[in-house]
Amino acid sequence: MKKIIFFLLSVIWFFHWFSGWVKTGGMDRAIAEHKNQRFTPKVLRGIAEVYNIFQEPERSSYYYRWIVDEYPDEKDIARVRWNLGRNYEETKNKHLALEQYMVLITSYSKTQEGQLALNRYNQMRF
């Protein structure tokens, strides 16, 4: 029984510590200090998607924007830009959403995201 209680207290402590590390910017600093062209965009996208799951589009946008700014040649950049545009819509940043959609329309017109952006752009611009 003592082992179970100790384990549960350890887990609670870890999550408390991790939460503080994230909230104070420790995670972002660690990611920035250990950049890797191959893995960092995947980590950032994973974080952004977790924030989307928890319906925090502003936080999610921060990580998507980081990918767009730092890794513009990322393999899935069209999907990242689409998600960023959708998040901007959710946070009532119509101008920024249209900006992302315009990039998708002009640079990624043959992708699924480019087509989705064209439809969304035509719906939003009026």
Residues 112-116: contacts with CB under 8 Å, at least 24 apart? 113/78, 113/79, 113/81, 113/82, 114/78, 116/82
- Other Cβ atoms less than 10 A from the Cβ of 64: the count is 28
Its pTM stands at 0.83
3-state secondary structure of 76: coil
pLDDT at 108: 95
Query: 110: phi > 0 → left, psi -120 to 50 → alpha, else beta; which?
Result: alpha
Mean pLDDT, 10 residues at a time, the chain of 126 residues: 80 70 76 88 95 94 97 95 97 96 96 96 86
pLDDT at 18: 62
